[in-house]
Structure 1
Amino acid sequence: MKKNCLLLLLLFLGFAAQAADIKVTDYGAKGDGTTLNTVAIQKAIDACNAKGGGHVIFPAGRYVSGTVLLKNNVTLQLEKDAWIIGSTDVNDYTNPDPFKDGLGVDVGWALIAAVDVKNVGIVGAGGVDGQGSKLKERQILTDTRPESQRWGRRPFLLRVVRCDGVLVKGVSLNYSAAWTSHYFQSRNLQLEQLKIRSTGVAHNDGIDIDGCQEVRISNCDIVSGDDALCFKTTSSKMKCNNIIVSDMKLKSNQAGIKMGTESMAGFENISIRNCVIYDTKNGGIKLLSVDGAQIRNVIISDIKMMNIRTPILLRLGVRLSVFRKGQDVQQKTGLFEKVVLKNIEAVSADSTQLKAASGILITGIPEHKLSGVTLENIRIELPGGGTADEAGADVPEAIDKYPEVKTFGPVIPAYGIWARHVSNINIKNVSFRLRRSDGRPAVLLQDAQQLRMQGSVLPATKGAVSVFEIKTSRDVVIERSKVGAGPEVFIKADGISKGEINSKENQLPPGMKKR
């Protein structure tokens, strides 16, 4: 035992003796904002790796570069006022791991990439700026393809592919030409104290975790043009598993927290807590399985959302896309199991993706119900303004379509909760507040089974026929609800549902009929 410990100590000391911190300027890099430093930066990284690893130090300056690849045991250290600046020429970038995104576009080029390496990172008080808008402006002068296709040729700011042991801490990640940071099939990731400002071109996701395991993300401040914090599985071969996220500040032109736009493998054992989401233009929290993913043991808690559009969307669909052609096969339909959203406060923007705002959308498909979800201690403020005519709106099934709120619009026939093709759903202490009256029911259930709703608080409205509308549903329990005046009927149910509803201990205003 003593001999083994001594051997390990000698090996460690040998590695430490070889490890070297070097300055990128010693290898010819110039921080003048104009010199293309791709070759010099790569030489510094290679030299650091050859010496056993360490830090490649960037003194204050602006270092223009194309694609550089991190090597084993190398960390880029960006000192204060040190910036790696992306070249505005797309030809200065390479694609270390090509794939297609959820829209079917070829993507994967990057400014800084790490592929099949261990113990790498980017740390410090400096940052990386992709100059996304300038790169696009230059690109479209010669790339005549439609914008929906050519955007994929633009580089991500940071790509980490099949790596183990990654630290990204303290740095700023700004203005990517595509996704800002993408981590694929990697383990032992630590992302903390990041400041991301990435807007100006399409698809500026903030952080994309794609089939990664043992991940810790904390204390990041993200303002993104696309989804701020996004979990994906573009391959069926490795799920997102054992992930803890906390203390995030998220602003987005799309979603604050999204899981599953690309969803071939599972999302399991994930905790997201104590986050602020604000000024989002396409949703607060979205959990989606449309390519076969099993979403299991996911808890999202202690979330505050302000000025957001459509607070919650849960979707089980069957698009069943394959994103890495020749490397993967189509999956079977996925599922939700032990998914909990609790302790959430949300204030909706006045204008949303829908004609009139709705708070919570939950939908499976006729052959596959979305099940295994608990919503607990949720308070949502909505603008109201929906009409009684909109209560009769038909919502498209869109079983194989890209999963977005607008996919089910423009009208949702309930202002509070719309749940269709669901089972085993528990809703506890969910309350709504309206800034204006709304003529739609508070809750509409369609093809629901084993749904329990307890302790809800539903405001007074004018013009609505009922508080609840229930269609083709079985084993529904509604209890201890507190309801404001206005609607004539508490529960409106069709013939199939009437005998399947257990309503008890609800507080109704004088004159309101139970059914």
Structure 2
Amino acid sequence: MYKYLFLFFLMLSGVVARAQHTTGVWDVYQLGAKGDGKTMDTQAIQSAIDQCHQAGGGKVYLHNGTFLSGTIYLKSNVTLYVEAGATLLGSANVDDYPIIPSKYPSYTGELVTNKMLIYAEDARAISIQGRGTIDGRGDDFDGPYLSPSFSGRPRIIHFRNCENVQVRDVTLYNSGSWVQSYQSCKNMLIDGITVDSRENKDIEKPRYATVRGRNTDGLDLVDCERVRISNCFINSGDDAICLKSFSPGEACRDITITNCIVSSNASGIKIGTETSGAFEDITIQNCVVYDTRVDAISIMTVDGARVERINVSNITVRNIKGAAIFIRLGARNRPYRKDAKINAPILRDVRVDNVQGTRIGGFGCSVTGLPGMKVENVVLSRINLEFTGGNFPLDVDKSTVASTSAPLTQAAILQEINREVPENVKAYPRGEMFGRLPAYGFYIRHVKNITLDQVQLRFAQDDHRPALICDDVEGLELSGLQAQGTSATPALLRLVNVQNAVISGSRPIFEVPLFLSVQGKESKGIVLQNNVLKNAKQKVVAEKGAQKSVVVEL
């Protein structure tokens, strides 16, 4: 009798396997999953993935339940499908996320996988889809803040050296660390996803007012190529969308980011800070960045990367505590691979067009290189920004005006405007790295060939700083600037050691004492043409070593 029962169950299991093979769908319930949110379903889900992969591919189906799991390993030609109403729930036990050997180096250079809920390595044609939720259960983990490696706080998704990848429609919720990280992957589509992983949600409070941070970047691309990110909503505890490079010989290239809405407790859309290899042919367009603590748009090289052919367009920003636009070439020179060579940094051919924003913080936007290492070929066009303004000291750590601060005195304001801005060669790059800049709008230093076209700058509260300061700039074209100043603004524009500049079609919005201050003995070849200066009591003053003859008015 037992023999016949055994044969019956064997035949039944064969029917199930054949049915799944025929339909291409592996239902995890049929492989022993409970979906009750209490029983560990890791083995059932992994069995479904393994069988699907061995059969040549198909869909692993999670539906009508909450599936508790530790690390699962996605394999070639497998789609993990989380149906609407279903949840893949990460285990609260850190031991359910093993660190195992890998072919590929981690953030620290070690050949290990790190900890994550869903992992794939050397896989092809993989995807995560569905309108369900993947819950990383981040609130249940503890560990140091900087922890993409060994902290005991797992990520939700980590793919390495995978090709033909799709992540669509799912909600990624409450991660313990980076929400999703894609390293050395090619041909990827990330579309229509929601990331909801933000501790300390109130942007008006200090960053860690409620709980400690977890370094929960919303989406990280590390040395990835041919990537399309579109139609995503990301609300993250750290950088929302961040492109990185860990390897001097690799690159992020051929990437588009479009139609995304992001909010962050750090930066919105960012190239950096890990910048070892190259970033090229990247387009960012039609996005909204709001309620963001650091910078809205950041483009940088600080660890030796070559960054070129970057296009940013049609961006709206609101309530940005740092800078709306931050472009930086620095020399922190941090290696992420053992014995790695640090490349010579390059940052050139950047175009930022049609950016509008209000409630931009008081630090000021910046485009800065280093002495002897200039940012090259930058175009800022159709920029319309309103800053919060106000002549208050700023708390760099909180990115807000200190609540007990009194307004700066006029003497303190002049000292601030005339202070020498430190180079901060090795500092962590972000808009607040120089402190409150001498210009409320744009501070531009160590740059070759920059165009500002149809730029509008204004403030909500009086701010006595110049709208624009350029220092050590070769090749400046300033066209159609409309900028606000006050009766206490020393000069609306200041050029320091600037060579070969044309300022045309520009005007102060309100009355200012002086339109242009030219400083420095290296200044030369400055042309004023067709500017409307009825709101300027004086047009030009040459001072601090500059000769008035270097300015020609046509």
Same fold per superposition (TM over 0.5): yes
Work out whether residues 18 and 51 of structure 1, in 8 Å CA contact, stay in contact via their aligned partners in 2.
no
Measure, in 2, the Cα distance between the counterparts of 1:495 and 1:365.
Answer: 18
Give the letter aligned to residue 377 of structure 1: R
Matched, 1:268 2:280: yes
Match of 1:43 among 44, 47, 53: 47
Question: In 2 relative to 1, CA 117–374 (structure 1 residues): closer, same or farther, beyond 3 Å?
Answer: same
Distance 2:21 2:81 in 1: 20
Aligned match of 1:120 in 123, 126, 150? 126
Distance 2:316 2:536 in 1: 35
Query: Take 1:212 and 1:202, find their aligned partners in 2: how far apart are those partners?
Result: 24
Secondary structure at the counterpart of residue 488 of structure 1: strand
Q: Which residue of 1 aligns with 2:414?
A: 388
Give yes or no for the alignment of 1:336 onto 2:347.
yes
- Cα offset, 1:500, TM superposition: 3.1
Pick closer, same or farther for the CA change 1:88–1:229 going to 2, 3 Å. same
Could you tell me whether the CA contact under 8 Å between 2:146 and 2:215 is conserved in 1?
Answer: no
Structure 2 counterpart of 1:345, from 338, 341, 356: 356
The DSSP-based 3-state class of the residue aligned with 2:461 is: coil
How big is the shift at 1:475?
1.5
Work out the CA distance in 1 between the residues paired with 2:414 and 2:432.
Answer: 21
Equivalent in 386, 391, 398 of residue 424 of structure 2: 398
CA distance in 1, matches of 2:526, 2:113: 50
Q: Given the alignment of the two structures, is residue 70 of structure 1 paired with residue 74 of structure 2, yes or no?
A: yes
- Tell me the SS of whatever aligns to 2:537: coil
Cα offset for 1:437?
A: 1.7
Counterpart for residue 161 of structure 2 = 162
Quick check: 1:234 aligned with 2:246?
yes
The 3-state SS of whatever aligns with 1:237 is: coil
Separation (CA, whole Å) in 2 of partners of 1:303 and 1:371: 22
For residues 113 and 475 of structure 1, what CA distance do their matches in structure 2 show? 54
Matched residue, 2:299: 287
1:161 to partner: Cα distance: 0.5
Q: Does 1:312 align with 2:325?
A: yes
Q: Kindly state the Cα deviation for residue 330 of structure 1 after the two structures are TM-superposed.
A: 2.3
Which position in structure 1 is the counterpart of 2:494? Answer: 469
Matched to 2:486, the amino acid is T
Query: What do residues 355-392 of structure 1 show as CA deviations (whole Å, max 9, x unaligned)?
Result: x342x211111120111211011100011123333202
Instruction: Provide the C-alpha distance between the structure 1 equivalents of 2:371 and 2:483, rounded to a whole number of angstroms.
Output: 28
Partner SS, residue 419 of structure 1: strand
The 1-side partners of 2:272 and 2:363 are apart by: 23
Q: Hey, what's the Cα distance between the residues in 2 that align with 1:26 and 1:98?
A: 37
Q: Which AA in structure 2 matches 1:178? A: S
Write out per-residue CA displacement over residues 305-355 of structure 1, whole angstroms, 9 at most, x where no aligned residue. 1111210100001122211325xx122222122211001101124xx4xxx
Kept in 2: contact 1:461–1:484 (CA 8 A): no
C-alpha distance in structure 1 between counterparts of 2:332 and 2:29, whole Å: 50
Matches of 2:357 and 2:290, distance apart in 1: 9
Partner-residue secondary structure (3-state), 1:323? coil
Q: Deviations over 1:108-155 (max 9, x none)?
A: 42110111010001101112100101122xxx6xxxxx5556984311
Picking from 19, 43, 63, the partner of 1:59 is 63
Larger mean Cα displacement after TM superposition, 479-488 or 48-57: 479-488
Alpha-carbon offset, residue 492 of structure 1: 1.2
Partner of residue 442, structure 1: 467
The worse-fitting range, judged by mean Cα deviation, of 61-70 and 472-481 is: 472-481
Aligned residues: percent identity? Answer: 34
The reply to whether residue 425 of structure 1 matches residue 450 of structure 2 is: yes
How many Å separate the matches in 2 of 1:290 and 1:276?
26
User: Structure 2 CA distance, aligned partners of 1:19 and 1:211?
Assistant: 36
Contact 1:19–1:52 under 8 Å retained in 2:
no
Q: Mark the runs of 5 or more structure 1 residues left unpaired by the alignment.
A: 1-15, 141-145
**Offset from partner CA, 1:195-236 (integer Å, 9 cap, x none):** 110122421111111111111111111111111111111122
Structure 2 partner of 1:9: none
Letter in 1 for 2:50: D
The CA RMSD measured in Å over matched residues stands at: 2.1
Equivalent pair of 2:297/2:326 in contact (CA under 8 Å): yes
Match for 2:513 among 463, 466, 488? 488
Whether the 8 Å contact between 1:20 and 1:52 is mirrored in structure 2 is no
> Kindly tell me: are residues 52 and 500 of structure 1, through their superposed partners in 2, closer, same or farther at Cα, counting changes over 3 Å?
same
- Report the AA paired with residue 331 of structure 1: I
For 1:107 and 1:425, the matched residues in 2 are separated by 43
CA distance in 2, matches of 1:122, 1:503: 57
AA aligned to 1:41 is I
Assess if the C-alpha contact under 8 Å between 2:505 and 2:529 holds in 1.
yes
Residue type of the partner of 2:351? V
